[in-house]
Structure 1
């Protein structure tokens, strides 16, 4: 039975890939500070980012499509006087139309170069620490996209490269063009697709792993049990796992995790994050947080150590494939 509470020192820093950057065991996903998860406040977001740096979190994750563009500008304002304390990871490739909807994916070399210049300008920095291909463009060989990315590294505009939601085969092809620091994919107790070959491929190649949505887009906090818990403009209303029937089933799954958390004297979110952290010291989760209280709750999870029995209990509570509904309404754009 789980009986231990959070105590001791945070987990040590982790390395993204062979020779990659040293990062805090937990990063901060900044997407929700500018879009997607209901209302936000730039003032609260700036204070949250500064508090993250104060707590030793040094990896901030953003993308040009968040806002669009405004999230990078927010990050730029936040780190203007603290640049040496932070590693900025941003992404390119998802193209948005005038109404803010994603209209396609672009991996053409000229688009890569233009996107990098735009991100550098909005972030107000001379170099991007981790530049990530957000989605694979099926119309452009990944070797061409990564050839352009390699040029950006040689030009000193980017330090490290990453890719998001790519298949093991695509990862191998891109990594052969230029060494990859990390792959970013959704991973949590309710999203375990990376265990189907991707994590093994990354470890064989010496590539790190950034786990986005490690709390199942808020599902694993236990605070979302019915669709009406979400605001009308929350994009999770469009996701299969948050549709009424699926959400009811998923809430029952989360309650099993919550019971284990209560036995341990921690929150469900902390237990879920500790599970991701326990999957290997090459795994770095990046939960989102829009306020300092949620941030502090998440960071405390880095001091929670799980035993083999703890992990077995969590695996039994949420076995692979147990979540109801796909991650996205259209899964064709992931795992390419």
Structure 2
């Protein structure tokens, strides 16, 4: 698989990455086998967070991928702290918290550095300058190589794009949810990459029963599903292949992070990982035609 430079960083990533949140229950044989097989297929971007399973997901990724550390780009997230009773978590946006939290993530991930450390959320009321200072300090210390955001809030994304050295923004982006395109011009101008999540639209445009999705009615989703089925058949590719090709056809999107739970699901990506279909502009336009473009109603 051809690797692509992630934004203005020196990280080179395969266009299809693995979001590990779906791999629950710790370092089971099945989870470890999935991670090892992903590396064999050519996937090198792995995304986790200290929030997932109260750190157990990071621990699982660290155990499984430590022997392959030099072959992967390891990304995790920070900003949420579990309460002591485990009932929920609180937003902890501060320089001091980020600097403290990274050491726990490094230990769980069984590594001396994190390739991409992402702020897991963010609001416009956060001490943004202070948070940026925290990330920059970690870069200088060598604990992280680069930092980014995991956010869908345009007002937050604009502030970090203007003030910081973020190399990427992870956000939901797919055929049904094109809301992020409002910030794409800003990110393209700064050479900040988009890491897409949710490209497969929760299966609604593949084999799951049609249902409402965000502001779209089930009827609108059904019409979009028929368009996907028709175009995929005419191009001779699978529906998930088409949906991933659609997301990655936008030049600002460098990675589509996909969640899988089993080897069977992972192996379904094999063809796409080995040779991703290149979607033409005409095909992209045809897919989008007639699908109502949503807009963010908050945090503009």
Give TM-score scaled by structure 2 length.
Answer: 0.88
From 285, 301, 304, give the equivalent of 2:277: 304
Question: What pairs up with 1:139-150 in 2 under 5 angstroms?
Answer: 139-150=125-136
- Structure 1 stretches lacking a partner, 5+ long: 1-9, 228-239
How much does 1:226 deviate?
Answer: 6.1
1:258 aligns with 2:233: no
1:67 maps to which residue? 53
1:201 aligns with 2:190: no
How much does 1:84 deviate?
Answer: 0.4
Q: Is the contact between residue 14 and residue 281 of structure 1 (CA under 8 Å) also seen in structure 2?
A: no
How much does 1:298 deviate?
Answer: 2.8
Kindly provide the CA deviation profile for residues 16-39 of structure 1, in whole angstroms up to 9, marking residues without a partner as x.
12233111111111111128xxxx
How much does 1:49 deviate?
Answer: 1.1
CA distance in 1, matches of 2:74, 2:238: 28
After superposition, the Cα gap between the structure-2 partners of 1:94 and 1:211, relative to the gap in structure 1 and judged at 3 Å, is same
Q: Is the contact between residue 169 and residue 193 of structure 2 (CA under 8 Å) also seen in structure 1?
A: yes
Q: Is the contact between residue 270 and residue 297 of structure 1 (CA under 8 Å) also seen in structure 2?
A: no
1:212 aligns with 2:212: no
Where 2:117 maps in the other structure, the secondary structure is: strand
CA distance in 1, matches of 2:178, 2:23: 26
1:25 maps to which residue? 15
Give TM-score scaled by structure 1 length.
Answer: 0.79
How much does 1:316 deviate?
Answer: 1.8
1:91 maps to which residue? 77
CA distance in 2, matches of 1:124, 1:131: 15
Q: Is the contact between residue 147 and residue 177 of structure 1 (CA under 8 Å) also seen in structure 2?
A: no
How much does 1:320 deviate?
Answer: 2.0
- Structure 2 stretches lacking a partner, 5+ long: none
2:257 maps to which residue? 286
1:113 maps to which residue? 99
CA distance in 1, matches of 2:86, 2:52: 9
After superposition, the Cα gap between the structure-2 partners of 1:242 and 1:99, relative to the gap in structure 1 and judged at 3 Å, is farther
After superposition, the Cα gap between the structure-2 partners of 1:290 and 1:242, relative to the gap in structure 1 and judged at 3 Å, is farther
Question: What pairs up with 1:35-46 in 2 under 5 angstroms?
Answer: 42-46=28-32
After superposition, the Cα gap between the structure-2 partners of 1:166 and 1:281, relative to the gap in structure 1 and judged at 3 Å, is closer
Q: Is the contact between residue 185 and residue 210 of structure 1 (CA under 8 Å) also seen in structure 2?
A: yes
CA distance in 2, matches of 1:242, 1:43: 36
Q: How many equivalent residue pairs?
A: 298
Q: Is the contact between residue 152 and residue 180 of structure 2 (CA under 8 Å) also seen in structure 1?
A: no
After superposition, the Cα gap between the structure-2 partners of 1:194 and 1:281, relative to the gap in structure 1 and judged at 3 Å, is closer
CA distance in 2, matches of 1:103, 1:41: 23
What's the RMSD between the two structures over aligned residues? 2.8
CA distance in 2, matches of 1:42, 1:195: 38
From 118, 123, 129, give the equivalent of 2:115: 129
After superposition, the Cα gap between the structure-2 partners of 1:283 and 1:179, relative to the gap in structure 1 and judged at 3 Å, is same
**Residue range with higher mean Cα deviation, 249-258 or 113-122:** 249-258
After superposition, the Cα gap between the structure-2 partners of 1:257 and 1:88, relative to the gap in structure 1 and judged at 3 Å, is same
From 247, 253, 256, give the equivalent of 1:276: 247
After superposition, the Cα gap between the structure-2 partners of 1:311 and 1:319, relative to the gap in structure 1 and judged at 3 Å, is farther
